[in-house]
Amino acid sequence: MRTHAILCLIILFAAGCGTYPDPEAEKKPSVTFSTNLENPDSLLSATPLSWKNEGTIKEGHAFSGKYAVQLDHEHEFSLVFEQKLGYVSALQPERLTYEAMVYSDKPAPEGSMVVSIDDKGYYQSFSISDFFASGGEWKKVSATFQLPDTLDPSDLIKVYIWNNKSGELLIDDISIKFDLKPEKKE
């Protein structure tokens, strides 16, 4: 009985030793663009237009709802988020996190999450193959990209999944989060 009481005290003490959330981290500005693809017409009529390559949106097998992006031997690039950084935010982005639900019918597909800024010669990709030990199921893929310090509001950023025509991929519930540099206080 005494051992049980001591063990309970140790567990309570250990539970109280956690770390508290950093209030400064919560204050960092960010902006997120996301779509579940369920209303393709409104997605493609927003001004300024941010989403391109709507020909890849298909009705059928989807993670949520009835629409998903379908990549195959004819379509190697997914729905693309393409926008001038000045329309993303007045603040300069320092990081970008891309998340999506992806379906592959085979393990270790050759697709990649890609972020490019042509004006700066910036191109980074992250393979999605590590997310798929086996095929036949939806997986959440995610990668964070550190952006260059020399960005201008006129720079055009592109974010997408590249399939390299290696097989079929389905993509749904896309989210692109820009972590922004806070304004400098003088």
How many degrees, rounded to 5, is the angle at CA 145 between CA 144 and CA 146?
125
Rounded to an integer, what distance in angstroms lies between the CA atom of residue 2 and that of residue 60? 61
Instruction: Output the pLDDT for position 45.
Output: 67
Longest CA–CA span in the chain (Å) reads 70
CA distances to 144, 148, 165, 172 from 79, rounded to whole Å, are 19, 24, 15, 10
Domain coordinates of the chain in residue numbers? 35-180
Contact between 179 and 91 (Cβ < 8 Å): no
For residue 41, report the phi and psi dihedrals to the nearest 5 degrees.
-65, -45
Contact between 117 and 157 (Cβ < 8 Å): yes
The beta strands (E) that lie in 28-136 are given as 30-35, 51-52, 57-59, 67-71, 80-84, 93-104, 112-117, 122-127
CATH fold of the domain at 35-180 = Jelly Rolls (2.60.120)
For 38, left (φ over 0), alpha (ψ -120 to 50), or beta?
alpha
pLDDT digits (tens), the chain, 186 positions? 555 444 443 443 333 444 444 455 557 899 999 999 998 777 766 667 899 998 999 999 999 999 999 999 889 999 999 999 999 999 999 999 999 999 999 888 989 999 999 989 999 999 999 899 888 999 999 999 999 999 999 999 999 999 986 689 999 999 999 999 987 655
* Strand, helix or coil for residue 170: strand
